[in-house]
Amino acid sequence: MQISRRAAGLASCLGLLSATLPRAYGDQELAKKLRTIGRVTGLAKADLPTPALLLDLDIFEKNLAKMAKHAASNGKQLRPHAKTHKCVEVVRRQEALGAIGVCVATVNEAEVMATGGIDGILLASPIATPSKSARMAGLAVGGRNVIVAVDHAQQVSMYEQAAAKAGSKLGVLIDLDVGDHRTGIEPDELALKLAELVTKSKQLELRGVQAYSGGSSHVIGFAQRRNHSLQAMSRAAAMRERFRKSGLPSEILSATSTGTYNIDSEIEQITELQVGSYVAMDVDYRRIGGLHSDVFNDFGHALTVLATVVSANYRKQVTIDAGFKALATDRPFGPDLKDHQGIRYLFRGDEFGVLSWETESTPFQLGDRLELLAPHCDPTVNLYDRIYACRRDQVEEIWSVMDRLSATQEGNRPS
């Protein structure tokens, strides 16, 4: 049977494309590897179903080491925030470099960390229900070091009752509002009275204060950000000093963000850093500028989303399989394409995004694998159940986000 020249050309083209596509595995061996929790062998980036969440281990390890060195050289302790990654394996590596524990934003995160054997857990968010206070008190049974933040007398009462019932003791920090008006109590007489209330409890131990200035962390321009943060944090520093002069326990002032890590460290009264995003980084932080650069490049972009070109029928655009369900959408901008300049990303629905460019040449073909820098790392990670920890093109380990893999794949954990 004869076929037309056009059909023959199309068949040849399709054959060439299929030869360049990443290997597509559907066998049981690959399925088993993808269900692994922990170290995995023989798995490459090209094997992964997309979209997939990747962590470049070389960059990640440099980020951890740089922050640990910074904290130590400035006489600060490191209690990094886990809300960025929600992953026990990340915290274990931070602890190996000297971190004294971990901050969490939710009770669920605290429970995941405790189950993973992490100590020194600080719930930095206030709660308002007895069930959550009971869960936190339960984590402290047996002597685990658990600290909670409060900004209201009712929270003190709930924690007191929960700890008494559980037979445990909780550390407490007074959460100070230094300008965000999100959580926290004004750093004045009200904070002193709340602290005094905590000291009257048999189950609660006042440890000091905490403060967070989210308004400072993303101020664009280092000088402007420095002025904003020092002004905000000076209120927390003064409050810690008032605690000391009043005879109230004040060993801890826990504070700081990734964007102000090298600013707040100047403040003597701050004892520990709650930095989180530095382990992964995102487009939002890159835009704020650094001490010596218009780009904040103090820490490398370790976190990316791997996507595949799934449609390539136009000269100046392709479609990839990463849309609303693969990337955070809380910023007025989308992701940036790693290692490429002049490429614009546009969300095109739940499953798709479009990459477009102005040049005549076509940089991408059907089946190409591309990596995207997340607009905002925290909510991007929350969309996934696992992190593929990679060394160059090979996957070394698979880490569970919020222990979701253990909950759904029991029995696949390596011995």
DSSP line for 5-45: HHHHHHHHHHHHHHHHSPP---SHHHHHHHT--EE-SS-BG
28 CB-contact burial (10 Å; exposed 0-12 / middle 13-18 / buried 19+): exposed
**Which one, of 319, 294, 272, 307, lies nearest residue 147 by Cα?**
272
pLDDT, residue 408, reads 66
Fold of 58-279: TIM Barrel (3.20.20)
Q: What's the pLDDT score for residue 55?
A: 98
- What is the reported pLDDT for 360? 83
How high is the pLDDT of residue 29? 78
For residue 409, the model assigns a pLDDT of: 61
Closest CA to 124 of 103, 138, 152, 110: 103
The residues spanned by each domain of the chain are: 58-279
State the Cα–Cα distance between residues 262 and 278, nearest whole angstrom.
Answer: 12
Residue 348 CA, distance from chain mean position: 25
Rounded distance, CA 372 to CA 379, Å? Answer: 15
| Amino acid making up residue 19 | A
Does residue 109 sit in helix, strand or coil? helix
Weakly modelled stretches of the chain, pLDDT under 50: 1-24, 411-415
Helix 189-199 / helix 222-245 crossing angle, nearest 10 deg: 50
